[in-house]
């Protein structure tokens, strides 16, 4: 039986060569070049995607290990006509300059919202239990795996904060 992976709702057969990272599979085999390769070593976050609801670095995992998994990339989050809330907020707040890190930032932030919704603590959380207060410090810590060479951090945090707090901050 061919092993399959679902990407943005479409099923694809997994590659033959076990060396292919999930990142290279998405970019080269499927032509989904929204996901970016910055470092290829888990250090920059440009390759962040969402697998079964969880954000991971696609450069540090083999495509072959994802039989049956369901992947969401930046292409699956919204379209130019119908952007996701975060995509719209990144535009509104100028959450980028060159844009290279942006797909990773937005995938990461998309999963971050889910993590906040279930009150997963972070290193910045005062308390490990209970409701997490959504502060800039929390957002910065939770986004620390996404580097931005252009240094658009202040606007990235502002965009995420707006969506995370429903504009109430």
Ligand X SMILES: Cc1cc2nc3c(=O)[nH]c(=O)nc-3n(C[C@H](O)[C@H](O)[C@H](O)COP(=O)(O)OP(=O)(O)OC[C@H]3O[C@@H](n4cnc5c(N)ncnc54)[C@H](O)[C@@H]3O)c2cc1C
Residue 7's H or E segment, with its range, is strand 4-7
Is 102 near other proteins (CB under 8 A)?
no
- Is the distance from CB of 96 to CB of 90 less than 8 angstroms? yes
CA–CA dist 88, 138 (Å, integer)? 21
Nearer to ligand X, 65 or 127 (CB): 65
CA–CA dist 66, 73 (Å, integer)? 15
Of 16-24, 70-78, 83-91, 150-158: span binding other proteins (CB under 8 A): 16-24
Give the position of tokens 């060569």. Answer: 17
Binding track, positions 145-164, relative to other proteins; x by CB under 8 A? x-------------------
Out of 5, 7, 32, 61, name the contact with other proteins by CB under 8 A: 61
Nearer to ligand FES, 55 or 76 (CB): 55
Which among other proteins, ligand X, ligand FES, none contacts residue 129 (Cβ within 5 to 8 A by kind)? other proteins
CA–CA dist 32, 73 (Å, integer)? 8
């Amino acid at each position: 039986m061919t092993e399959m992976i679902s990407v943005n709702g479409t099923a694809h057969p997994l590659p033959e060569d076990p060396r292919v990272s999930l990142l290279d599979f998405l970019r080269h085999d499927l032509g989904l070049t929204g996901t970016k390769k910055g470092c290829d070593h888990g250090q920059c976050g440009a390759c962040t995607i969402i697998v079964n609801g969880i954000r991971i670095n696609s450069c540090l995992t083999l495509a072959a290990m994802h039989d049956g998994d369901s992947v969401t990339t930046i292409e699956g989050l919204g379209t130019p006509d119908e952007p996701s809330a975060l995509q719209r907020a990144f535009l509104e707040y100028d959450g980028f300059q060159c844009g290279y890190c942006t797909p990773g930032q937005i995938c990461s932030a998309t999963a971050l919202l889910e993590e906040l919704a279930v009150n997963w603590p972070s290193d910045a959380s005062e308390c490990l239990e209970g409701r997490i207060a959504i502060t800039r410090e929390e957002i910065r810590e939770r986004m620390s795996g996404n580097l931005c060479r252009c240094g658009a951090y202040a606007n990235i945090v502002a965009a995420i904060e707006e969506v995370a707090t429903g504009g109430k901050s």
